[in-house]
């Protein structure tokens, strides 16, 4: 196994990792990197663990506001909708 | 075609602008979780997030007359929310010194922990401990990178919409996101490498 820091191809790949992840890389580059990854376990692992990191964070998205927080918000809004109340 | 049982945001905004407060209430219901979620991730504590949530919707209500019809309400409310969060963070910096020292983003530019923990089933279970680890590390990101990561990867917005909300170019969004992602990947890899997820 080679060292990331020593490998120009790894470094080139890592710089474009985010674009690769988002499917925004040039097809020619994608092909080049997939060939590289075929031989480079380190880059493969970085890609997979990055993808999973994003998946984990996606699950932390808030999908509902706590009931008391919602009530507090409605109260604050009523106060500004009818200031004389 | 107008579906009266499920009006679009645009229809609700038009009604709210004409003085229909119930229409605004429906917009609140649709978007409050996004705003609250953003505030929690940015401000790191529930009290500040609740306060900021109220500020955002009160501001939006008052600013309805200046809302441009061609804009998307979701983008607009995110913009108000990000501005409110960043303003609070800036203010807070004056009186609080972060206890968890902000980590150098540069440390993650070259991945060091490169074991593939995704092949270990034990590490693939989302639980309270992992949730805490994720929170701790996202909190360690500088606000400028954190906001981009939250909008893009947690809330799933596009690069363009994120740039629009933050007033950043597409390359600027991409570079902040790239650094945030590498940083969080490295932190999580380190957690697994040092024996995390062992029940
Ligand atoms: Zn490589």
User: What CATH topology corresponds to B106-193?
Assistant: Arc Repressor Mutant, subunit A (1.10.10)
Given an 8 Å threshold on Cβ–Cβ distance, is A22 in contact with B159? yes
> Burial code of B40-57, b = ≥16 C-beta within 10 A, e = fewer?
bbbbbeeebbbbbbbbbb
- CB-CB neighbors (< 8 A) of B124 in chain A: 52
Given an 8 Å threshold on Cβ–Cβ distance, is B174 in contact with A57? no
User: Which of B33, B110, B138 lies at the smallest CB-CB distance from A65?
Assistant: B33
As a whole number of Å, the CA-based R_g of chain A is 23
Q: What is the pLDDT of residues A6-30, one digit of tens each?
A: 688 888 888 899 999 999 999 999 9
| CA-based nearest residue to B49, from B28, B30, B34, B27 | B34
Domain ranges of chain B: 9-92, 106-193
Given an 8 Å threshold on Cβ–Cβ distance, is B53 in contact with A54? no
The CATH number of the structural domain formed by B9-92 is 1.10.1740.10
DSSP H or E segment with residue B68:
none
User: Which of A48, A80, A81 lies at the smallest CB-CB distance from B118?
Assistant: A48
- A48 CA to middle of ligand 1, Å? 13
φ/ψ of B128, rounded to 5, equals -65, -40
- B108 CA to middle of ligand 1, Å? 16
- CB-CB neighbors (< 8 A) of A76 in chain B: 54, 57-58
Q: What confidence score (pLDDT) does residue B5 get?
A: 79
Is this prediction's ipTM beyond 0.95? no
The alpha carbon of B84 is separated from its chain's Cα centroid by a whole number of angstroms, namely 12
Q: What confidence score (pLDDT) does residue B100 get?
A: 42
pLDDT in tens, chain B (199 residues): 555 678 999 999 999 999 999 999 999 999 999 999 999 999 999 999 999 999 999 999 999 999 988 889 999 999 999 999 999 998 887 444 443 444 455 655 678 778 888 888 777 778 889 999 999 999 999 999 999 999 999 999 999 999 999 999 999 999 999 999 999 999 999 999 887 754 3
- CB-CB neighbors (< 8 A) of A74 in chain B: 25, 28
Please state, in angstroms and rounded to a whole number, the distance separating the CA atoms of residues B176 and B148: 7
- B160 CA to middle of ligand 1, Å? 29
Count CB neighbours of B83 within 10 A. Answer: 15
Q: Which of residues 13-52 of B touch A (CB under 8 A)?
A: 21, 24-25, 28, 32-34, 36-37, 40-41, 46, 50
Please state, in angstroms and rounded to a whole number, the distance separating the CA atoms of residues B147 and B153: 10
Q: What confidence score (pLDDT) does residue B96 get?
A: 45
Decide: B188 and B123 in contact? Cβ < 8 Å.
no
Which residue of chain A is at minimal alpha-carbon distance from B46? Answer: A69
């Amino acid at each position: 196994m080679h060292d990331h820091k020593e490998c120009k191809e790894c470094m080139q790949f890592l710089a474009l990792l985010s674009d690769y992840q988002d499917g925004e890389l040039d097809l020619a580059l994608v092909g080049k990197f997939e060939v590289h990854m075929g031989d480079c376990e380190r880059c493969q692992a970085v890609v997979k663990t990055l993808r999973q990191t994003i998946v984990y964070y996606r699950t932390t998205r808030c999908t509902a506001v706590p009931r008391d927080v919602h009530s507090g918000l409605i109260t604050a809004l009523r106060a500004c909708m009818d200031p004389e109340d | 075609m107008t579906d009266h049982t499920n009006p679009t945001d645009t229809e609700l905004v038009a009604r709210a602008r004409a003085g229909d407060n119930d229409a605004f209430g429906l917009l609140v219901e649709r978007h409050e979780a996004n705003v609250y979620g953003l505030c929690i991730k940015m401000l790191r504590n529930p009290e500040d997030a609740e306060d900021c949530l109220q500020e955002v919707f009160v501001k939006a209500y008052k600013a309805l007359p200046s809302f441009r019809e061609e804009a998307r309400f979701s983008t607009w409310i995110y913009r108000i929310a990000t501005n409110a969060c960043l303003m609070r963070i800036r203010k807070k910096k004056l009186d609080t010194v972060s206890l968890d020292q902000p980590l150098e983003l540069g440390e993650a530019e070259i991945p060091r922990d490169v074991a593939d923990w995704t092949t270990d089933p034990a590490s693939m279970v989302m639980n309270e401990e992992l949730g805490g680890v994720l929170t701790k590390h996202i909190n360690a990101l500088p606000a400028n990178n954190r906001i981009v990561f939250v909008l893009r990867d947690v809330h799933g917005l596009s690069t363009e919409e994120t740039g629009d909300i933050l007033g950043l170019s597409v390359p600027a969004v991409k570079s902040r996101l790239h650094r945030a992602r590498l940083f969080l990947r490295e932190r999580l890899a380190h957690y697994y490498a040092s024996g995390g997820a062992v029940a």
